A and B are shown apart, each in its own frame.
Chain A
Amino acid sequence: MSLFRRKKKKELPLFSERRRKKKRRREVGVGESKKRNPEAETSLFHSRIIICTGISLLMIAVLFCNLYYLQVISYESYQTRSNENRLKVVPVVPSRGIIYDRNHVVLADNRPVYHLVLYPNKEINTRDSITQLSKLLRLDLSEKEINNLVFQASTRKRFSGIEISDLLTEEQIAAFSVHSYRFPNVQVVASLKRFYPFADIVTHAIGYVSRINQADVDRLTAEGKIDNYEGSLEIGKLGVEKFYEDELHGKTGSREVEVNSHGQVIRTLNYNAPDPGNDITVSIDIRLQYYIQELLGSTRGAVVAIEPSTGEILAMYSNPSYDPNLFVRGIRSAEYQRLLNNPGHPLINRVTQGGYAPASTVKPLLCIMGLNEKLVTPLGSYFGKPSFRLPNSSHEFRDWRPWGHGWLDLYRAIEISADTYFYDLAFRAGIGTIHDYLDRFGFGKRTGIDIKEESLGINPSRDWKRARFNQPWHLGDTVPIGIGQGYWTTTLLQLIKAHMTLANYGEKRTPHLMRNIVDPSKPAEELDYVSEEQPPVFEVNDPNYWDVCRAGMYLVVNGPEGTGRRAFFGAKYKAAGKSGTAQVVSVKQGEKYNAAKLKVEHRDNALFVAYAPFVHPRILVGVILENAGGGSAKAAPVARAIIDKYLLELYPGGYMGESTPHMMKFGIGGTVMVQ
């Protein structure tokens, strides 16, 4: 204030002076005037300079205080933030375990692929970059795809890139390299991608991996595994790839890196190697699998070949199939629509998901029930009429042979697949008993196969019908169950599992694909498959019952009237089997089945189950051919071909039957030498 007053005082005389010297002219020197007060001016000037110097010092003090606050008081907080800026822990994705077939042929491999990744940067227009890259590399991105990428770029968290292309060709990489200076925030990133060299041959068994979606993220989060998937792009979606996901995936490593503001990695500070996933050997023989694909051609159907003594699945094929590599790449909507709309429904695994009427193939299994429940005896005779009628009913349950079979014992009933014998058996057993035995054979529940795509089929019961249709169970519902029709549906694998129990004399085995799991760093330690079948044995009153039913199946293939005898004529081994012809639609009373008159999808399904060699079978084959016709005519030759291929061509010199023939007696005086 004192300064202020001083100025004011000074001004007054100058103001008064002004009037007198109105016309002042500059005469000497620069800025000099005729009449002035140099001393007053100098002191004014000096005081102003001092004020300004004071203000300058104040400014410096302000700057210093601010810097002191930043660099001394808040030092630690800023240091932390600086480190957060520059240090980044990058997940290192482990390489996925390889899947081999039983002969160490690679079924699922990892191949390097090159991605084009853009790290969004404020300085660079993302849309322009993408558009230019699309043009340069001929990516043919649509406007919608570009919009989507730009949206991703704006929503992605800092430092993470967006993938413009996930499969660059070598030409594209070369083209990009030449022009890379124009795209400083775009990088080519190499990664391993799953590749299935056999394409559609083993799709349903091995499955595939595909991009992790939100549902996977939710599931992994719930299971507490999400941290291990940091950086992973793919996850098993089907088959073995899905079931053994935890084994195959491995443990994600990490890399502490220094990044710049664009997210580009400058250098690595710390490296934690990932644990690669474990390799899996599956029991499938790709040669047999391929052979089956060739055999089926365009016929819709499914085939399982299994080793009954272990439950190892040798082949598992569902026709038609599809190329899993499409899903790895990221299937396009049009391709997916084509798969969905394909009348053959390739996406369904017919082996484990197809619900079929098992038809006559289950007759030997029902015989076990009959024998164990003392409803039939091996030699007890029954007269096979053209049809079966329930008491006090006019409805005719027809036999497949319009004129009937005449006198039957159990062996002949299986051999010739006499329907009336089993109508009678089912009628006398009742649905409760049947349901119970079918349950023990594994129908209507999971087989335990190590893939997740499995439907349960229907093991009908009174409760089931009440729950499903809200109707009581009728006696007439029980009768067709005897020949594997009616409400009963099963998957091929359930049927095979039940027959495997029979072929093993009651020893139950879980059908499975995995043979062993090997940690690549410790190849000596193999983790073999452990069956968890409960109970492990199918208990019957007399173990001889198994022999009786197996003998019936032996006759199907080798007997004089056996339904499969033509297909297995001249086989170099002794096989056993059972045919089945499943009606898809019911034939009205008094009408005859005529394939030619029916629509293709309403024709009969052909089934055949066979195993060989007879005493200690090495292979058990189940074949189902949709709408192909009779089981013995259509499916049996396929089963024969597969067994021939396996026993004679792929693994020759193995056990082919007993060295010393032994006599088997059948029913009404029949004897056969079994080798």
Chain B
Amino acid sequence: MTEMSKESLSSLHNVNTRQPHGNFFTRHHVDLPLMLFFCITLCLSMFVLYSASGQQSDMLVRQLLRTLAAFALMIVVAQIPPKVYFKLSIYLYLLGIVLLVLVELFGDISKGAQRWLNLGLIRIQPSEIFKVVMPLTIAAFLSRDNLPPRPLNTIIAFALVGAPTALILMEPDLGTAGLVGFSGFIAIFIAGLSWWWIILGAAAAGAALPVMWNFVLHDYQKQRIFTLLDPTTDPLGAGYHIIQSKIAIGSGGVFGKGWLQGSQSQLDFLPEPHTDFIFAVLSEETGLIGFLILITVYCFIIGRCIYISFRAHGNFERILSASFTFTFMFYIFVNIGMVSGILPVVGVPLPLISYGGTAMITLTISFGMIMSIYTHKKVMFFKS
């Protein structure tokens, strides 16, 4: 931050260089660099989306409006001080659990999974709520006590993570369950999870894997894993998506085929080119250079968030911002990994680029909270 207080009037200001009344944006709880990177990502998204949607400008307009609404929501979220979220977290968590149970009982079924809950006016996907609520709850719970967490707290924290994850897994939605579980885990990890736990957990997971394979995973999920291992076994069935996506990416080369020139994307060879597989479109048309540009923008966002996490005071704020940051990175990794054929196909969109409102809103809420953490400064009087 260059425009940080140049005129430090008191020692207080020296301690808290990012004082809330720095400039216009910080006064209004908006982090300018993050905002800037978001706008760059949005522009990138618009270009790729235009190509991926088959040059439909109405789709573009819809996404633009949605994104602007999501940004507005982000700013609103940023206005609320972190302690409110701290207090709200447990209620949000309980509400989320109730909704998940309702989904299990009354949810709409689409594509073989029960994910949507029809509330009359709106249809919601309660599993999405947990992408935000999960780190929030864990951060709130663990920051009540000293860090690193005691074993009892760790067990409770894992139970808090496990309950919604299991419910989402039952829908079944392996992708979201994994993301939710991961975001909870990363929060616990950042809170200082003992390495013993990690070793024990890894061993237990290794032991549980055969059980999972036989009793928990659905056939289509197993199929996806088989397909990942060798897509050519079923080139027109489940492996088709992966093969076509890899062809799109590979044929892009270093410089790509040019914007709107990707034959795989423009001729419908890619599955869902505007949502989950949008990275294949980007890669085909802009090549390895496109990936580097995208990852650079992402790195700026993540870097800024890491910076904010470093500067955050209070365990709740730290855990929350860091777990949001790394969950965001995890989304990127899972999406690109799945599209380029090193991870199984689970429904994870490319953050900030893919078409769709739900994922965008989830992300902007998390970033809103990060901004709120950054801009709502707590003055620490005891430091001199």
Q: How far is the CA of A200 from the CA of B316 in the complex (A)?
A: 93
Q: Are A33 and B146 CB-contacts (below 8 A) given A49-B309, A82-B248? A: yes
Are A31 and B316 in contact, CB atoms less than 8 angstroms apart?
yes
A63 within 8 A of B: yes
A342 within 8 A of B: no
A221 within 8 A of B: no
Interface residues on chain B, number (Cβ under 8 Å): 67
Interface string of A546-558 (1 = CB under 8 A from B): 0000000000000
Q: Are A31 and B194 CB-contacts (below 8 A) given A78-B246, A81-B247? A: no
A46 within 8 A of B: yes
Are A59 and B333 in contact, CB atoms less than 8 angstroms apart?
yes
Partner of A30, one of B82, B246, B330, B332: B82
Q: Which of A172-197 contact B (CB under 8 A)?
A: none
A223 within 8 A of B: no
Are B269 and A261 in contact, CB atoms less than 8 angstroms apart?
yes
Q: How far is the CA of A33 from the CA of B337 in the complex (A)?
A: 41
Are B264 and A44 in contact, CB atoms less than 8 angstroms apart?
no
Task: Return chain B residues, CB-CB under 8 Å to A56.
Answer: 302, 326, 329
Interface string of B189-219 (1 = CB under 8 A from A): 1111011100000000000000000000000
A337 within 8 A of B: no
Binds B, one of A4-12, A434-442, A473-481, A644-652: A4-12
A148 within 8 A of B: no
Are A71 and B147 in contact, CB atoms less than 8 angstroms apart?
no
B255 to chain A: closest residue by CB: A71
Are B195 and A70 in contact, CB atoms less than 8 angstroms apart?
no
Are A41 and B291 in contact, CB atoms less than 8 angstroms apart?
no
Q: Which of A2-54 contact B (CB under 8 A)?
A: 3-4, 7-8, 10-11, 14-15, 17-18, 24, 26, 29-33, 35-37, 41, 44-46, 48-49, 52-53
Q: How far is the CA of A266 from the CA of B246 in the complex (A)?
A: 23
B310 within 8 A of A: yes
A45 to chain B: closest residue by CB: B318
Are B147 and A41 in contact, CB atoms less than 8 angstroms apart?
yes
B287 within 8 A of A: yes
Q: Are A82 and B288 CB-contacts (below 8 A) given A31-B316, A56-B302, A63-B295? A: no
Q: How far is the CA of A158 from the CA of B243 in the complex (A)?
A: 15
B198 to chain A: closest residue by CB: A4
**Main secondary structure on chain A at its contact with chain B?**
helix
B53 within 8 A of A: no
Are B189 and A48 in contact, CB atoms less than 8 angstroms apart?
yes
Q: Are A31 and B317 CB-contacts (below 8 A) given A49-B310, A70-B340, A85-B264? A: yes
Q: How far is the CA of A44 from the CA of B139 in the complex (A)?
A: 15
Partner of B251, one of A7, A26, A82: A82
Task: Return chain A residues, CB-CB under 8 Å to B326.
Answer: 52, 55-56
A44 to chain B: closest residue by CB: B192
Task: Return chain B residues, CB-CB under 8 Å to A75.
Answer: 250-251, 253-254
Q: Are A71 and B249 CB-contacts (below 8 A) given A44-B192, A49-B310, A86-B267? A: yes
Q: Which of A75-90 contact B (CB under 8 A)?
A: 75, 77-79, 81-83, 85-86
Are B314 and A29 in contact, CB atoms less than 8 angstroms apart?
yes
B190 to chain A: closest residue by CB: A48
A59 to chain B: closest residue by CB: B333
Are B342 and A33 in contact, CB atoms less than 8 angstroms apart?
no
A62 within 8 A of B: yes
Partner of A49, one of B190, B240, B251, B315: B190
Interface-central residue, B82, B252, B332, by most chain A CB under 10 Å = B252
Q: How far is the CB of B277 from chain A (nearest CB, A)?
A: 13
B306 within 8 A of A: yes
A67 within 8 A of B: yes
Are B247 and A24 in contact, CB atoms less than 8 angstroms apart?
no
Task: Return chain A residues, CB-CB under 8 Å to B147.
Answer: 36, 41, 44-45
Are A85 and B333 in contact, CB atoms less than 8 angstroms apart?
no
Task: Return chain B residues, CB-CB under 8 Å to A83.
Answer: 263
Task: Return chain B residues, CB-CB under 8 Å to A70.
Answer: 246, 249-250, 340-341
A41 to chain B: closest residue by CB: B147
Are A30 and B342 in contact, CB atoms less than 8 angstroms apart?
no
Partner of A52, one of B186, B196, B332, B333: B186
Q: How far is the CB of A215 from chain B (nearest CB, A)?
A: 30
Q: Are A60 and B314 CB-contacts (below 8 A) given A24-B145, A77-B250? A: no
Q: Are A72 and B288 CB-contacts (below 8 A) given A24-B145, A30-B82? A: yes
Are B269 and A79 in contact, CB atoms less than 8 angstroms apart?
no
Q: Are A63 and B336 CB-contacts (below 8 A) given A70-B246, A70-B249, A262-B268? A: yes
Q: How far is the CB of B214 from chain A (nearest CB, A)?
A: 29
Q: Are A85 and B263 CB-contacts (below 8 A) given A33-B145, A158-B236? A: yes
A103 within 8 A of B: no
Q: How far is the CB of B319 from chain A (nearest CB, A)?
A: 8
Interface-central residue, A35, A78, A262, A266, by most chain B CB under 10 Å = A78
Q: How far is the CA of A55 from the CA of B192 in the complex (A)?
A: 16
Are A67 and B288 in contact, CB atoms less than 8 angstroms apart?
yes
Are A49 and B291 in contact, CB atoms less than 8 angstroms apart?
no
Partner of B267, one of A66, A68, A77, A266: A266
A258 within 8 A of B: yes
Are A31 and B248 in contact, CB atoms less than 8 angstroms apart?
no
A64 within 8 A of B: yes
Q: Which of B286-330 contact A (CB under 8 A)?
A: 287-288, 291, 295, 299, 302, 306, 309-310, 314-319, 322, 325-326, 329-330
B222 within 8 A of A: no
Q: Which of A258-283 contact B (CB under 8 A)?
A: 258-262, 266
B114 within 8 A of A: no
Q: Are A81 and B251 CB-contacts (below 8 A) given A60-B295, A66-B342? A: yes
A147 within 8 A of B: no
Are A260 and B253 in contact, CB atoms less than 8 angstroms apart?
no
B283 within 8 A of A: yes
A74 within 8 A of B: yes
B162 within 8 A of A: no
Q: How far is the CA of A30 from the CA of B315 in the complex (A)?
A: 8
Task: Return chain B residues, CB-CB under 8 Å to A46.
Answer: 310
Q: How far is the CB of A22 from chain B (nearest CB, A)?
A: 11
Are A67 and B309 in contact, CB atoms less than 8 angstroms apart?
no
Are B342 and A62 in contact, CB atoms less than 8 angstroms apart?
yes
Are A14 and B148 in contact, CB atoms less than 8 angstroms apart?
yes
Interface string of B166-202 (1 = CB under 8 A from A): 0000000000000000000010011110111000000
B149 to chain A: closest residue by CB: A14
A55 to chain B: closest residue by CB: B326
Q: How far is the CA of A36 from the CA of B147 in the complex (A)?
A: 8
Q: Are A45 and B315 CB-contacts (below 8 A) given A11-B148, A24-B146, A72-B288? A: yes
Q: How far is the CA of A36 from the CA of B82 in the complex (A)?
A: 21
A-B residue pairs, 7 tightest by C-beta: A78-B250, A31-B143, A31-B316, A82-B251, A260-B267, A261-B268, A86-B263
| 16 further contact pairs, Cβ within 8 A, besides A31-B317, A75-B253 | A8-B195, A24-B146, A26-B144, A36-B147, A46-B310, A60-B299, A62-B333, A63-B291, A71-B254, A71-B287, A78-B247, A82-B248, A85-B247, A86-B263, A260-B269, A262-B268
Q: What is the interface of chain B, defined by CB distance below 8 A to chain A?
A: 82-83, 86, 139-140, 143-148, 150, 186, 189-192, 194-196, 236, 240, 244, 246-254, 263-264, 266-269, 283, 287-288, 291, 295, 299, 302, 306, 309-310, 314-319, 322, 325-326, 329-330, 332-333, 336-337, 340-342, 378
List 25 interface pairs A-B (beta carbons < 8 Å), by A numbering: A3-B195, A8-B194, A15-B150, A17-B146, A18-B146, A18-B150, A26-B144, A30-B143, A31-B86, A41-B146, A41-B147, A41-B192, A45-B147, A48-B191, A59-B333, A62-B333, A64-B295, A66-B340, A71-B283, A72-B288, A75-B254, A78-B249, A83-B263, A86-B264, A260-B268
Q: What is the interface of chain A, defined by CB distance below 8 A to chain B?
A: 3-4, 7-8, 10-11, 14-15, 17-18, 24, 26, 29-33, 35-37, 41, 44-46, 48-49, 52-53, 55-56, 59-60, 62-64, 66-68, 70-72, 74-75, 77-79, 81-83, 85-86, 122, 158, 258-262, 266
